[in-house]
Amino acid sequence: MKKGEKLFYLLFIAGSSLFAVKGITWDMALPKFFYASVFLAALFVAKGMRLSKQPQSISLSIPHFFAVVYAVYGILSSFLLLRTIPEAFATSLGFSLSLLVLILFSIHISEKSVNGILWLLQIFVLFGVIIAVDALLGFYTGNSIFWGILGQPLMRGNISSVVGNVNFTTDLMGMLLPIVLYLAIITRRLWRNERARVLFYTITYALFLSVVLAGQTRGVYYSLIGAFLVVLLGVLAGMQKKVKPKIRPLSLVVLLVITIFLIYGYSTDSIFTRGTFSISERLSSSANKSAADFRTFLWKTAIKQWENSKILGTGFGSYKYFSSENMGRVLNEEPRYMYIAGLNSIRAHGEYFQQLAETGLIGLSLVLLALGSLVLYYFRIIFRLKDFDLLLLFSVLAGSFSVIVLHSVVSFPAHFMPNALLAVTVAGAALSPVFRSNSFQLKKISINRWTGMLMIVISLIAAVLMSRNYLTEAFFTRGYIGYKTYISATAQIPDLRNSVVKIKRDLNSLENFDGEFSYLATDTYINQKLDSLKETYPKAPDTLLYLIATESHKSEFSTKQNRIKDKLKTAADTLMMAQHAAIRGYYSGISNLDSSLFFSRGFNLSAAFMGDFLKTSDRTEDFVLRLMNSPREAQLKLIEDAFTGKDLNTEYLTGYKKPREIVQPLLKRSQRHLFLEEFPILFNKALTRADLSRLLNEINFSILYSFQAKWDAIDYYILSMQLGPDAQVMRNTARTYFDAFTQAKDVTAELKKLIPYLNKEDRKKLYELIERIKNLPLKLRDEFEYIYDRTISLIPGAWRYFNNWEYIYSDYARELVLLYGPKDSLDKILKIVEKELYVCRYMKETRWSIPDNTFDLLLILSQEMKGNEALRLKRKILSLYEEAYQWNREQLKNFRKERIEKIPENNPNRQKYEQIYSRMKDFVNRYEILKKSVED
């Protein structure tokens, strides 16, 4: 390779391995895919331009042929999203085109010479060393070169480095290990100083193996065993043909000793593990029930998705858009998985299951054909190669590729760079004609300027779409950071304000000599001080003692006053900093989320957090400030836009080409919730009889706007659900419905203020609007109940991941009572209770199940009833909760001894379990009291 080409690949591999800036993106894979797509576009533009001048012929291998066909089908399958979730089409197309470009790059690599291949592999190893050093530093010190402080040392999550996750960092190291083994033991001359080369790759081997062992990723352990078996099989095949070995025996022995030493070290209480873990224990925990159930649950979720379109699939990259609904379907059929449900995973943790779901039988068949042809190709090559060096290199390349193939059974390493880039590189190198010897290939294919133009177009479109995906994610991440800053700062403000008020009160008490400072009252203090001084200095003149007492009074008063003022200044400064942080977080967050949505409406989290921002009090305050400080025409425009769906930051709520099934019940009446849409017209009519300034002063626009802001938030939540229904977002939606219903009464009170300024005809319209707002809780009750019921159906028992999820049932029931009263909500509440108790039946095996909140609510409702009606409800309560009562009573016998006493006193979990114990005990006692009262 020429110097310019080497520099290109050096920069390409460097960025694809390391490009990820903290705080720029949430997903560490996207920056690298974006970076790679730009470099690949540059590569294929140059290659396409050369083809326009000089056509060439390539020898396409059968595995590459199937891979290309699969990638093309992945692109075609993206168009399936146009009929289900059109907003996600461009995102899906970007990733499917990138897959095709990566496979074209693999074909490009197959044209390289052995020297070129070895140079590329060494560059991958070089950046692998940087990642490995950072991973081990993070693991053993809790500090990363790239990320700074990570946390406590010896936490496997610290190994994530810039790859993005410990599982994929170890996968990368596993793929590089066979390559490093080859580079350490071959006799081929690679460096000027061969001893330095052997030493470097020997140390590198130990470094990579340490990362793999410390990472404790079982899937990589087993994949690496498979990889070395592949290498060993190739070597044994060569020895059977009596191919003369060309290796450094001493180097091989040293590597074997290092392997044994490290495996033993990481399997015992040694300097490597410090007694915190053991790889032998990690391997033996492969049968861990929760880990196995979690993956099985996700695989069954993928199968549920596949059942919707068995042949074609649902579209490349579509698993994350449908997973939550399919999880709900699995849980409905197999509730035993409830205890591990709750985390809305966007990947199936099994690449082949995910491809089956997304690309159907066609896509998975092509994947299996490509892998199957690779297996056949491998066995053909190892029994034909005569050169041991080529045989070992080929076996090492096959072994490296097998790591990602085997690990993909239980994970998704190909979704991350540099794993994917290394995989296509080693696959392309293994499929080089150097190894093929003109066998196992199709006829030579002529590629000309038209082929070159096609490559240019494909690679450029992929780069543009991946740039779009990257910018969407990058702006979302900045928006999310702004949101967290805003939430953190606003949470501090009330306490800081109270602190300032209290200090001001103390200062006032001091200056008035009240309360604890009453002893500083001038006469009182000086008289007491004089008495004390006279006892101490009986011979001193009274005038001098009076002077000393007066000075002492001034000094103590001044000292306390200065101390309180210093505290006041510190508290005020802290409050101001928190307020400024909240303002920065608000404007930064909402601006970045807006930019994220500008680049793509196909990212559900941006819409969800935008909804969170829009219903904050700061948004309402911002509107009111703009309204009060704008010219007349601008004020009228602000009012019109606010209530007609044209307000700032709502421009992305423009409707749906094809609402998906889960959001359709929320969009039956309209695709926007604009219940005050007629208000601007009526307001303008009122201006014929009143000044604008007068109406602005009389009508509380904060109430009207915050009401509409809640519906704007709901509309953004619905947009988020259109892309990917998230149970937490759905629960927020239900809560926001309740808040809006609760505020309807205040809104009608403000609307009535327009009555004196309207004529008879317009008053009639206003009364109709007031009636509609007043009846919203009844009119939209079906939407309110639907969103709560659907949320529960998706994740019925999620308190493995969300500790407060068990309260969703009691929240739902209580809100029904508050909105509609006991009589009109009791039947629905009993159904909610039945759902909760059904969930408790399964959750009690692995998590506590204490349905005490709904139990208390029903008790309150029964106390509101009289006679036989109350008695019937109490008997119903006893019947419903009997099983839960029996289980909680049984748990109480050993809960303290088995759960609480084993936890150290200073451990936060002890307090949590103490509270659980108290709840169980109270629930059992209240049930028994109710039972006794009914029997009596």
Identify the pLDDT of residue 284.
66
Same domain (yes/no): 587, 500:
yes
- Decide if 120 is inside a domain: yes
Domain termination residue (choose one: 560, 591, 622): 591
Do 401 and 507 lie in a common domain?
Answer: no
Q: What is the mean pLDDT of residues 845-860?
A: 90
Contacts of residue 593, defined as CB under 8 A and 6 or more positions apart, other chains included, come to 475, 476, 479, 482, 483, 606, 609, 610, 613
Tokens of 892: 């109480």
Q: Does residue 892 sit in helix, strand or coil? A: helix
| Residue 255, token pair as written in the block | 């590597």
Are 402 and 488 within one domain? no
Q: Which of 564, 591, 618 is the last residue of a domain?
A: 591
φ and ψ at 732, to 5 degrees? -60, -35
- Nearest residue to 268 (alpha-carbon basis) of 258, 279, 257: 279
Angle at 457 between CA 452 and CA 458, to 5 degrees: 95
Which phi and psi angles does 822 have, rounded to 5°? -60, -40
Assess if residue 810 is contained within a domain: no
**In a domain? residue 175:** yes
Torsion sign (Cα): 427, 429, 430, 436? positive
Per the structure, the count of domains in the chain is 2
Answer whether 355's CB lies under 8 Å from 364's CB.
Answer: yes
- Tell me: the pLDDT tens digits for 463-522? 999 999 999 988 999 999 999 999 999 999 999 999 999 999 988 988 888 888 888 888
Domain check: are 143 and 238 in the same one? yes
Give the separation between CA 893 and CA 895, rounded to whole angstroms. 6
Q: What is the pLDDT of residue 435?
A: 87
The answer to whether residues 266 and 192 belong to one domain is yes
- Report the pLDDT value the prediction gives residue 344, as an integer from 0 to 100: 66
pLDDT at residue 442 greater than cutoff 70: no
Q: What is the pTM of this model?
A: 0.91
- For the segment 722-778, what is each residue's pLDDT rounded down to a tens digit? 988 899 999 999 999 999 999 999 999 999 999 999 999 999 999 999 999 999 999
Q: Is 161 inside any structural domain?
A: yes
Is residue 861 domain-resident? no
Tell me the pLDDT tens digit for each residue of 899-930. Answer: 888 888 888 888 888 999 999 999 999 999 99
Q: Please state whether 438 falls in left (phi above 0), alpha (psi between -120 and 50) or beta.
A: left
Summarize pLDDT for 538-554 with one digit per residue, the tens: 888 888 888 888 998 89
Let me know whether 263 and 151 are in one domain.
Answer: yes
Tokens of 224: 């690496």
The string of pLDDT tens digits covering residues 228-238 is 999 999 988 87
Indicate whether 159 belongs to any domain: yes
- Write the burial class of residue 7 (CB in 10 Å: 0-12 exposed, 13-18 middle, 19+ buried): exposed
Place of tokens 């303008």: 684
Residues 404 and 504 in one domain: no
Confidence of residue 526 (pLDDT cuts 50, 70, 90): confident
Polymer length in residues for the chain? 936
Could you list the residue range(s) of the whole structural domain that residue 584 is in? 479-591
Q: Over range 844-851, report the average pLDDT.
A: 83
Q: Is residue 266 part of a domain?
A: yes
Asked whether residue 729 is assigned to any structural domain, the reply reads no
At 852 the three-state DSSP class reads: helix
Q: Which two tokens stand for residue 554?
A: 């001034």
Render pLDDT for 793-813 as a digit per residue (tens, 0 to 9). Answer: 999 988 877 878 899 999 999
Which residue type sits at 894? N
Residue that finishes a domain, picked among 591, 610, 645: 591
310 or 387, greater pLDDT: 310
Question: DSSP letter string over 631-657?
Answer: -HHHHHHHHHHHHTT-STT-TT----S
Higher pLDDT, 438 or 829: 829
Residues 139 and 230 in one domain: yes
CA dist 734 and 715 (Å) reads 12
